[in-house]
Homo-oligomer: A and B are copies of this chain.
Amino acid sequence: MSSAKPIRLALLGCGTVGTEVVRLLHDQADDLTARIGAPLELVGIAVRRPGRQRGDLPVDPELFTTDALGLIKRDDVDVVIEVVGGIEPARTWLTEALRAGKSVITANKALLAEDGGALHDAAAEGNADLYYEASVAGAIPLLRPLRESLHGDRVTAVTGIVNGTTNFILSSMASTGAGFNEALEEATELGYAEADPTADVEGFDAAAKAAILASLAFHTRVTAADVFREGMTGVTAGDMASAKEMGCTIKLLCIAQRGADSVSVRVHPAMIPLTHPLAGVGDAFNAVFVETEAAGPLMFYGRGAGGRPTASAVLGDIVAAARNKLTGTRAPSESNYAKLAVRPIGESLTRYHISLDVAERPGVLASVAGVFADHEVSIATVRQSGREDDAKLVIVTHSAPDAALAATVEALSRLDIVRSIASVLRVEGGAG
């Protein structure tokens, strides 16, 4: 279809995503050639075990090698695709490739969130492309819109469900009334949760993605270490029931907000109203809600994980990098000019939903309300449900600095009349 010289690709890693990249390159070869104006040619695949059976993968077995660095350094490699994950050796490989002027496509959120700046620097040094659409929200075209489409606007907030495992668990808790452990078990059986679910349920995965999103949205380098992170293992069936009573559900959110001259980036479970577009995002789907000054609210929805969806994002980036190679150009380079400070969580304005078991005694509400007043936290609603000598108070606050809210909870826990703090959850999206 084209007489142009092929664009040569090196693939690092051939697991779930890598095999689907190989398949799509094969199955869509004619279309890709037509869209790019030159054929793509896979010239090598670096894996740990080249002899491993790879079933019906449509690829010459000779292409497999254990020498990733040797493959990257080959003169005939134009584009390097990394789907291995982890910090090292990926960082060494990609830095080497970028400095040598090879375009890099990566799905490696951990590396980008820890050291994306260094990769961007290497890309600038080598005048190479660095694309990573697959690193956040899998198949959803999200980073290109943030990197390009919204560059004429000012993003004020990004709120996302960016972890499919935890969304599956929370959706299941919401629809069946199950507790966390039961829902996690179901997720594991269905293949939505890994044997060790820590990275997902403790919010590490979402925090890495939050750092990447915040960097792009606010033209500021944000790393995973800048992101406040709280997992969702503490969300109980009771919390979900309480959310329902308020017309809400609970989601694990990544939230990046822009202030006047700072940003705040955090990951935690939160109550959101059922009327919020993110509330209806069920199963293992991802969605990212973007607010801007001019465009208003936008939402991007789709599959956040899985071999083929992730490979679709990788292929989109391959087409872009290949076109740039052909025309001798480069994607817009990193935009980090704003260099906004990252505010600690204590300074972020949040709202709390606090559920207390208290003694049934006159003056309880007055004492509790006094603690809020002492910390200059304003109460939005109180619901009191009493039994003989055991009552429950559910309090939703107005917005206040998170530190003041945390101090309020701490002070409440020291009140004699407070038997226990049943749960504390942040409230987002205008709920409450």
Residues of chain A at the chain B interface (Cβ within 8 Å): 20, 24, 28, 31-32, 34-35, 133, 138-141, 144-145, 148-154, 219, 277, 280, 292, 294-303, 306, 308-309, 311-320, 323, 327-330, 332, 335, 337-338
Bound CA span A24–B295, Å = 11
A216 CB to closest chain B CB, in angstroms? 12
Bound CA span A316–B150, Å = 5
The answer on a CB contact under 8 Å between A141 and B152 is: no
Bound CA span A102–B178, Å = 60
The answer on a CB contact under 8 Å between A323 and B332 is: yes
The answer on a CB contact under 8 Å between A297 and B292 is: no
Bound CA span A145–B315, Å = 13
Known: A139-B296, A294-B308. A28 touches B319 (CB 8 A): no
- Which one of A149, A299, A317, A338 has the greatest number of beta carbons of chain B within 10 Å? A149
Given the complex, which residues of B lie within 8 Å of A308, measured CB to CB?
294-296
Given the complex, which residues of B lie within 8 Å of A277, measured CB to CB?
280, 301
* Besides A141-B145, A327-B329, 14 other A-B contacts (C-beta < 8 A): A32-B152, A35-B151, A35-B332, A144-B145, A144-B149, A148-B320, A150-B316, A151-B319, A152-B312, A152-B316, A294-B309, A294-B312, A295-B302, A298-B300
Given the complex, which residues of B lie within 8 Å of A318, measured CB to CB?
152
25 contacting pairs across A/B (C-beta < 8 A): A20-B294, A31-B338, A35-B151, A35-B332, A35-B337, A139-B292, A139-B296, A140-B295, A140-B298, A141-B150, A141-B298, A144-B145, A149-B316, A150-B316, A151-B315, A151-B316, A151-B319, A152-B313, A152-B316, A294-B311, A295-B303, A296-B308, A296-B309, A323-B332, A328-B329
Known: A294-B309, A309-B294. A300 touches B300 (CB 8 A): yes
Given the complex, which residues of B lie within 8 Å of A337, measured CB to CB?
34-35
Bound CA span A133–B312, Å = 22
CB within 8 A of A148: which of B32, B316, B335?
Answer: B316
Bound CA span A312–B155, Å = 11
The answer on a CB contact under 8 Å between B152 and A28 is: yes
CB within 8 A of A298: which of B139, B292, B317?
Answer: B139
Closest to A308 in B: B294
Closest to A145 in B: B141
Bound CA span A308–B153, Å = 10
Bound CA span A145–B313, Å = 11
Given the complex, which residues of B lie within 8 Å of A320, measured CB to CB?
148, 151
A178 CB to closest chain B CB, in angstroms? 21
Bound CA span A298–B140, Å = 7
A336 CB to closest chain B CB, in angstroms? 10
Closest to A289 in B: B301
Given the complex, which residues of B lie within 8 Å of A24, measured CB to CB?
152-153, 294
CB within 8 A of A302: which of B28, B299, B302, B314?
Answer: B299
Closest to A301 in B: B299
Bound CA span A300–B140, Å = 9
The answer on a CB contact under 8 Å between A316 and B153 is: yes
Known: A303-B297, A309-B296. A31 touches B144 (CB 8 A): no
The answer on a CB contact under 8 Å between A302 and B296 is: yes
Known: A149-B313, A149-B316, A300-B300. A139 touches B34 (CB 8 A): no
Given the complex, which residues of B lie within 8 Å of A145, measured CB to CB?
141, 144-145
Given the complex, which residues of B lie within 8 Å of A329, measured CB to CB?
327-329
3 closest cross-chain pairs (CB), A and B: A152-B315, A141-B149, A139-B295
Closest to A33 in B: B337
Given the complex, which residues of B lie within 8 Å of A303, measured CB to CB?
295-297
A329 CB to closest chain B CB, in angstroms? 4
Closest to A319 in B: B151
Closest to A151 in B: B319
Bound CA span A332–B320, Å = 9
A39 CB to closest chain B CB, in angstroms? 14
Given the complex, which residues of B lie within 8 Å of A152, measured CB to CB?
24, 28, 32, 312-319
